[in-house]
């Protein structure tokens, strides 16, 4: 008697057998996504040929990653960030027409209820750090100013920490603010020169980076979310091109178009005109929003 083994699991047909078992799924998108993942994971396992101990260590790594997650800490997103997956999902979902400003990762340090402030306000509430003036225009793709753009900005301080990482040390809402453009599309605010900082690296993702010979740092940047009626909202950064980590961002968020020169202004007339009492950094950067 011949024993039919059609449909039984073998090393050769492994992914096909699993996919066939999912055939009755009601959600076709879920079924196809799971089957694609299974196909790629099985191919990786066949290429790597892990020992039982190595596979168990992988499972324990994922377990530690889950245990690290709570309302404040999302270690799985960090894992996605350092593997470049967050930036890949961002790129797929934010294909922009030529001339429009590009997007990058949101990161974990945005807060939804930052105060709305008059244009030009100093968002540095503790007076620490090197003063900075950030200004530019919000434009459409034809170069016209966009009236009423909501600009939500946040940054790390000159020691590389966000206010939410240093509760009780930095004032609440330090280095954050929401601004709204007028008909000229112009925005400006005062801030301090941000510094590079490590992504949270005291968990399994930090340990993995160490084992891979990678550092956890992100180059100095400002975060922005720009929203205007009739335009796609834009989550992005501007980066300091002279930062030591500009070519090795731990989460791959840097794009050439997101650089803005951080110019040190020492000319007394320019200092007086900008209303500072000493040298300051000037960042000038226009954003271009795309229509949906």
Q: Which residues bind ligand BEZ (CB under 6 A)?
A: 78, 81, 105, 107-109, 199, 218, 251
User: How open is the CA angle 77-68-86, to the nearest 5 degrees?
Assistant: 5
Least distance from Fe ion to the Cβ atom of residue 7, Å? 50
Q: Which token pair is 153?
A: 């900005």
Comparison of 78 and 139: residue with beta carbon closer to ligand BEZ: 78
Q: Is 107 in the site for Fe ion (CB under 5 A)?
A: yes
Q: Which does 81 bind (CB under 5 to 8 A by kind): ligand BEZ, Fe ion, none?
A: ligand BEZ
Q: Which residue is nearest to ligand BEZ (CB)?
A: 107
Applying CB under 5 A, the span of 26-34, 104-112, 177-185, 204-212 interacting with Fe ion comes to 104-112
Q: Which token pair is 284?
A: 């000038």
Nearest to 21, CA basis, from 3, 38, 4: 38
Q: Which residue is nearest to Fe ion (CB)?
A: 107
Comparison of 13 and 166: residue with beta carbon closer to ligand BEZ: 166
Applying CB under 5 A, the span of 70-78, 101-109, 136-144, 251-259 interacting with Fe ion comes to 101-109
Cα–Cα distance measured from residue 99 to residue 141, given in angstroms and rounded to the nearest whole number: 6
Q: Which does 105 bind (CB under 5 to 8 A by kind): ligand BEZ, Fe ion, none?
A: ligand BEZ
Q: Is 194 in the site for Fe ion (CB under 5 A)?
A: no
Q: Is 219 in the site for Fe ion (CB under 5 A)?
A: no
Least distance from Fe ion to the Cβ atom of residue 99, Å? 26
DSSP for residue 259:
B
Cα torsion 152, 110, 276, 245: sign: negative
Cα–Cα distance measured from residue 216 to residue 82, given in angstroms and rounded to the nearest whole number: 9
Comparison of 123 and 251: residue with beta carbon closer to ligand BEZ: 251
Comparison of 106 and 178: residue with beta carbon closer to ligand BEZ: 106
DSSP 87-150: HHHHHHH----TTSPPP----TT--TTPPB--TT-B--SS--S-EEEEEEEEE-TTS-B-TT-E
Name every residue whose Cβ is closer than 8 Å to that of residue 142 and which is 6 or more positions away in sequence. Answer: none
Cα–Cα distance measured from residue 217 to residue 222, given in angstroms and rounded to the nearest whole number: 15
Comparison of 7 and 66: residue with beta carbon closer to ligand BEZ: 66
Comparison of 192 and 265: residue with beta carbon closer to Fe ion: 192
Q: Is 131 in the site for Fe ion (CB under 5 A)?
A: no
Residues within the interface to Fe ion (CB under 5 A):
107
């Amino acid at each position: 008697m011949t024993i039919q083994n059609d449909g039984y699991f073998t090393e050769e047909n492994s992914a096909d057998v699993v996919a066939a078992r999912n055939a009755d799924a009601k959600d076709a998108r879920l079924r196809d996504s799971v089957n694609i993942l299974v196909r790629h994971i099985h191919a990786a396992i066949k290429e790597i040929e892990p020992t039982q101990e190595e596979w168990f260590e992988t499972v324990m790594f994922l377990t530690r990653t889950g245990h690290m997650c709570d309302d404040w800490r999302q270690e799985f997103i960090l894992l996605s960030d350092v593997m470049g997956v967050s930036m890949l999902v961002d790129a797929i979902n934010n294909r922009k027409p030529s001339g429009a400003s590009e997007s990058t990762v949101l990161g974990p340090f945005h807060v939804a209820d930052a105060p709305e402030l008059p244009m030009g306000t100093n968002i540095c509430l503790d007076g620490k750090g090197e003063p900075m003036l950030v200004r530019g225009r919000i434009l459409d793709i034809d170069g016209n100013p966009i009236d009423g753009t909501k600009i939500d900005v946040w940054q790390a301080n000159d020691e590389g920490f966000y206010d939410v990482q240093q509760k009780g040390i930095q004032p609440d809402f330090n280095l954050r603010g929401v601004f709204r453009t007028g008909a000229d599309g112009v925005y400006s605010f005062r801030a301090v020169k941000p510094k590079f900082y490590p992504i949270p690296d005291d968990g399994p993702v930090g340990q993995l980076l160490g084992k891979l010979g990678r550092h956890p740092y992100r180059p100095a940047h400002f975060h922005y979310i720009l929203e205007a009626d009739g335009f796609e909202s834009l989550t992005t950064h501007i980066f300091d091109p002279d930062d030591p980590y500009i070519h090795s961002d731990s989460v791959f968020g840097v794009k050439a178009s997101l650089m803005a020169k951080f110019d040190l202004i020492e000319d007394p007339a320019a200092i007086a005109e900008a209303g500072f009492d000493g040298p300051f950094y000037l960042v000038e950067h226009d954003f271009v929003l795309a229509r949906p």
